[in-house]
Structure 1
C-alpha cells in the first residue's frame, strides 16, 4: 500500500482549467444518462401527495409507465442533460481554480469542505435555470410532453428573467452544504483509507469496486440524507412559486415532519451512485488527460 500518493485536493494542482472543465462536463453527461429514471420518480414523490398514484416507489413506477409510457422516465431530460454538463464542468472548474489560488492553512478535510461548498454555490448559480426547467417538465404527469420552448416563454411572460431563478436562494444554500459535505466526506474516506495497511480489508475493498467508488457512494449517502428536506422544499417552490417558510409549513401541516423526507429513498438510490459515478468518472478522465494532454 503506497501511503505517499497525493491526496484528492493536492492532485488538482497539476490540472489545467480546460482539463477540469472537460472532465467535469463528461462526468456530468454520463451521470445524468444513468440516473434519469430515478430522478423522475424522486421528483414525482416530492411534488405530489396522491395516495394511489404516488404512494411508493413501485406505485410511482407503475403509474408513470401505465399512464405515460416508458419514455416518460426521461421527461425533462434535455435541460437536465445540459444542466449536468454545465453544473459538472463549472463545479470542477471552480474546485480546481480555488484549489490552485486559495492558500488556506487548514487540514485537507476542512479545506475540501470550504472549497467544495464555494464551487457548488458557483455551479448552482450558473446552471439553475436549467434545473428549474427540468423540474417543471418532469412534474408533468400527463401523457403528452411539455415543450421546452413554450415553458421558457411561460416563465418569462409571468415573471421575467427573475422567474428562471425561482427558489435559487434555498437551492444555493442546499447545494453549498451538500457539495461541501460530499467533497469533504469523499476526501476524508480516501485519505484515511491510505492509513490502512491491513491486507484483507484492502483486498476486500479492491474486489468490490475500489476505494474511489466506495468513498464516492458513501459521500453521496451522507450528504444527501443530511440536506434532503431543503431539496424537497426547493422543488415545491419551483412549481408553486411560494416562499420557503410557507412551503415548509404546508409540507409539515399536510404530512408531518416525515413529509420532509418524502422521496428520500429514490433520492439516495440516485445520489449515491450519482456522486460515485461523477467522482469516479472525473478522476478517470483527469488521469486520461494527463496521459494525453490537450
Structure 2
C-alpha cells in the first residue's frame, strides 16, 4: 500500500513546500527557477516530464522504513498504554473516547519521535528536483551529520509531535467511537473497521493539517534549503514563527496547501476542485491499517485465551 500511494506523497510534499500563490502574478517574481504546480494531475505530469518515472517514488526507501517502524511502535504503545490505564484506574472507569485519546496521543508521540529522522529524510528526498541534493541515502545521513549535527535529523520535531498528539488522539477516539456502532451494520468482509478508519482519518487529518505543512517546511531548513525543487523556500524558525510567516505571506489557504488540491485543465481559466490529495492518500491507508490491526489483535487474543485454557 505504501508503494502504491508514494507518488501522491511526493505530490503532497511538493505542494506543501510551494510558497507562491497561483492567483497572484506578482508573487512569481522571486521563483528563482522553482516550478509552479497547479494541482495533482499537472504536478504528476510535470514530475514525469522533468524527472522521469522514478521521480514519483523519491524518498520511498526511508518512507517504507519509517512506516514499518512507526506502525510497530505505535500499535505496541497504544495497546500497552490502554492496558496500563485499565490497570491503574480499572476497566471502564475512564470513558472509552478519553482512554483512546490518551493511548493514541501517547503512542503517536513516541512513534513520531523515534522514527523522525526517517521522516525528515523522506521529505528531503521527495523535495529534490532533477538536480540531486543527496546522491544516496547513506550520503544524506553523512552530510546531515557533518553539516548540521545530530539536531539536523530532528528539524521540525516540535511541529511533528504537536501535530501527531491531537491527530492520533482524535483518530483513535473517533475510531473507537464509530467502530462499535458501525459493527452492528454487518458490513461485508469486516469492512466496518475500515470504514471507521477512513472517517477517523478524514476528521483528524483535516484538523491538524497546518502543523503537517509547517513540519515539512521546517524539515528542509538548513544549508541545503535553496537546493531543492522549490529554491525560494523562506527561512523559518520554530512552529509559531512559521505559522505567522505563512499566514502573513500566503493567507489561510497557505496553511492548507496539499489538502485541497485545485486543478486547471488545458484551455480552461476557471479553477476547479479536483481532489483532496492528503485525504486521498491517508484514508485508504488508515482503512487497511485498522482492518489489519483488528484482525491481528483478535488472533492474538484468541491465542492467549487458548493458552490460558490449556494451562488451566
TM-score of the pair, normalised by structure 2: 0.76
Cα distance in structure 2, aligned partners of 1:258 and 1:170: 18
Shift of residue 150, structure 1, vs aligned partner: 1.7
In the alignment, structure 1 residue 41 sits paired with structure 2 residue 11? yes
Cα distance in structure 1, aligned partners of 2:174 and 2:247: 30
Alignment of 1:157-196 (within 5 A): 157-194=146-183
Alignment of 1:207-222 (within 5 A): 207=188, 210-222=191-203
- Of residues 258-267 and 241-250 in structure 1, the stretch that sits farther from structure 2 once superposed is 241-250
In the alignment, structure 1 residue 141 sits paired with structure 2 residue 129? yes
User: SS where residue 256 of structure 1 aligns?
Assistant: helix
Equivalence for 2:271: none
Count residues with an aligned counterpart: 256
Q: Give ranges in structure 2 of 5+ residues lacking alignment.
A: 23-34, 223-235, 260-275, 308-312
Cα distance in structure 2, aligned partners of 1:208 and 1:228: 31
Cα distance in structure 2, aligned partners of 1:151 and 1:81: 17
Structure with the higher fraction of residues in helix conformation: 1
- After superposition, the CA RMSD in angstroms is 2.2
Shift of residue 286, structure 1, vs aligned partner: 3.3
Q: Give ranges in structure 1 of 5+ residues lacking alignment.
A: 1-30, 197-201
Equivalence for 2:244: 249
In the alignment, structure 1 residue 108 sits paired with structure 2 residue 90? no
Any conservation in 2 of the 1:90–1:122 contact (CA below 8 Å)? yes
Cα distance in structure 2, aligned partners of 1:291 and 1:37: 38
Shift of residue 191, structure 1, vs aligned partner: 2.4
In the alignment, structure 1 residue 54 sits paired with structure 2 residue 37? yes
Cα-to-partner distance string for 1:232-268 (whole Å, 9 max, x where unaligned): 0010001125322332233223321111011002111
Shift of residue 57, structure 1, vs aligned partner: 1.1
TM-score of the pair, normalised by structure 1: 0.81
Shift of residue 284, structure 1, vs aligned partner: 2.8
Any conservation in 1 of the 2:190–2:291 contact (CA below 8 Å)? no
User: SS where residue 129 of structure 2 aligns?
Assistant: coil
User: SS where residue 261 of structure 1 aligns?
Assistant: coil
